[in-house]
Amino acid sequence: MNAKDIIQPKVAALLPIYDRGNVTIFLTGDGEKVIIRKTCKTVLKNLARHYNVDLVAARKNCGRLLNKKLQVPIPLTSKILLIPVKFREKPLGKNDGALGYLNFFQIKEINEAKRRKCIVSFDNGVKIKVPITRETMEEYLKNARMVESIFLRDDISEHNNAVLPEERPAEIIYECICSEARNAVEAVLNETFAGIPPFR
Nearest one of 108, 105, 128, 103 to 189, comparing CA atoms: 128
Give the mean pLDDT of the chain: 78
The DSSP line for 48-88 is HHHTT--HHHHHHHHHHHHT-SSS--EEEETTEEEEEEE--
Q: What predicted TM-score, i.e. pTM, was given to this entire model?
A: 0.75
What is the C-alpha separation between 114 and 99, in angstroms, rounded? 20
Q: What is the pLDDT of residue 191?
A: 56
Query: Could you tell me what percent of the chain has a pLDDT over 90?
Result: 55
Q: What is the mean pLDDT of residues 163-174?
A: 35
Residue 121: pLDDT band with limits 50, 70, 90: very high
pLDDT per residue as tens digits for the range 34-93: 999 999 999 999 999 988 999 999 999 999 989 998 899 999 998 999 999 999 888 788
